[in-house]
Chain A
Amino acid sequence: MGNLKGDFESEAEAVYPALVRAATVLCWSRSDVEDAVQETLMSAFKSYSSFRGDSSFLTWTYAILARVASAANRQRFRRIPADYAADRPVQLPPVDGTVIVDEEARCLIDAVRSLPERQREMVTLHFLQELSYGEIAEALGISVGTVKATIFAAKTFLRSALAKKDIRKGATHVLF
């Protein structure tokens, strides 16, 4: 058990920054991020003995993080007054400005956060790890066709959302 714990901790240390970044996109607020990551790692440790290594450790923990963040966000959505939420789609609020200093990057992350939950999870994993559609499908337990259609819908939305925010060509990282 001690050896298992040591292995897990070394792997968890390696993926921790990536998980925090993903949680920043997936969670409601900055205060939820650390709780979600810690809960994810606890859940991952409990089932670490069953981790077969078919996918990378980051992909495996990301799938857990997506479930944890989804559950936490549902708790948050319940606190929104019904008359406020009735006439608008429920989406995550803009990210804290101190977490992402770069304005153009923050615009893109905010656009990702405004996507529907499933699209948000897939696009974040796509950006995080450059996984193929097949690997994303396996990690999230869905079909490749669904991944292809969902990522296309998400990218189409992001493309139009960023065009509306007047982010133009010229910079090396924001090029519309």
Chain B
Amino acid sequence: MSCFDPESLTAFADGELDASAVAAIERHLHDCASCRQFVDEMRRLDACGRSALRTIHVMPHGRSVVIPETATRPRVLRPVALAAAAIIFVTVSGAFWFVAFRHREPRPVSAPIQAAKSPSATDRLNTAQDKQPASGDDFRASSDETFERWAEPYRRLRIPLVPLEEVANHKPPEILPTLPATTKPNI
């Protein structure tokens, strides 16, 4: 009788064959020493493998299995928590910007620009009738204010401010004395 293939003998050693195949192989093993040796070696290999695994030293632990508390939260809550955090962030930042800029005063512009932008000033420039009334005082007042702002650093440094007319009419002091008319020396 021919020998069985090694794969079948291995499966036989592992107890993976059906009853009829087992009976046939057992009959063969009774007469075939080499197949019997092969099956014995395979069985010993299994025993060796199991005992070798058991000899692996496992380090002792105080508590081997540690499941952190964060891992116990259901996964479904994580997207919800993220969405809630995003909504809170948007709401708070939106409220901040509203409070910061909703009641903010308009950006200050210089008085002449303000005066030019005002409708009364435009009318005053375009119509001859409005040249004299009270709006002209506003313009002058704002110009004075601008001038004062401009002049303040000079005043702080005690630099005298002189009207342009005075500068134009200014005559330098006569530093050099007027010499008398030259006379010929009497030599």
Contacts and interface: CB of A to CB of B under 8 A. Distances in A.
B118 to A, nearest CB: 70
A90 interface: no
B50 A130 contact: yes
Contacts of A156: 6, 10
Interface residues of A, number: 52
Given A42-B71, A152-B10, A175-B44, A108 B49 contact: yes
A58 interface: no
Contact of B11 (A105, A126, A148): A148
Interface string A7-18: 011001100110
A143 to B, nearest CB: 14
Interface in A133-175: 133, 148-149, 151-152, 155-156, 158-159, 162, 173-175
* B interface majority secondary structure: helix
A64 to B, nearest CB: 14
Interface of A: 1-2, 5, 8-9, 12-13, 16-17, 20-22, 24-25, 34, 38, 41-42, 45-46, 98-102, 104-106, 108-109, 112, 123-124, 126-128, 130, 132-133, 148-149, 151-152, 155-156, 158-159, 162, 173-176
